């Protein structure tokens, strides 16, 4: 089974990771998990004012922080996983990655890490549920 876990480092992401860890036997022996972290793009003025490597370093650092608990949990249990970070619209990027990667399941926490971002962009979970053809499991 190929699972996409959309992770933002929130408590809800940790709950989703714990859920998957508790249900490993149910998910089957050929489990492959992709940990996906997405950051919205920095404003053009912000990136223009700094060197080209600064935004890349920022995105890598933020993704590393968000994915670290999941990576540790899956390493500890020897679950095959791949960490991926992208830049873009959160809901759209999750749907596109899920479709392109031919995943069997998308797993997400029910709430994100950034309340203000969710207020501005709308609910990422709602966007994924409305636009993604891949079945989704939302963990509360």
The predicted pLDDT at position 49 comes to 61
pTM above 0.95, yes or no: no
CA distances from 135 to 31, 57, 71 (A): 16, 33, 23
CA–CA separation, 44 and 47 (whole Å): 5
Domain residue spans of the chain: 2-139
CA–CA separation, 27 and 2 (whole Å): 9
Mean pLDDT, rounded, for 125-133: 91
Bigger pLDDT: 80 or 114?
Answer: 80
**CATH class of segment(s) 2-139:** alpha beta
CA–CA separation, 90 and 38 (whole Å): 6
Bigger pLDDT: 50 or 24?
Answer: 24
What values do phi and psi take at 74, rounded to 5? -75, -35
The predicted pLDDT at position 119 comes to 53
- What lies within 8 Å, CB to CB, of 69 at 6+ separation is 9, 13, 14, 17
What are residue 139's DSSP bridge partners?
109
Asked whether 117 and 91 are in contact (CB, 8 A), the reply is no
Give the 3-state secondary structure of 30-44: CCEEEEEEEECCCCH
């Amino acid at each position: 089974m190929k699972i996409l876990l959309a992770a933002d480092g929130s408590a809800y992401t940790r709950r989703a990771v714990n859920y998957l860890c508790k249900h490993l036997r149910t998910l089957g022996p050929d489990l492959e998990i992709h940990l996906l972290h997405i950051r919205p793009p920095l404003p053009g003025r912000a990136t223009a004012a700094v060197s080209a490597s600064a935004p890349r370093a920022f995105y890598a650092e933020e993704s590393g922080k968000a994915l670290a608990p999941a990576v540790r949990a899956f390493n500890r249990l020897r679950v095959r996983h791949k960490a991926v970070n992208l830049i873009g619209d959160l809901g759209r990027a999750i749907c596109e990655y899920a479709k392109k990667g031919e995943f069997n399941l998308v797993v997400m926490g029910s709430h994100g890490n950034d309340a203000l971002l969710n207020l501005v962009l709308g609910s990422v979970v709602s966007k994924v549920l409305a636009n993604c053809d891949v079945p989704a499991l939302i963990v509360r």
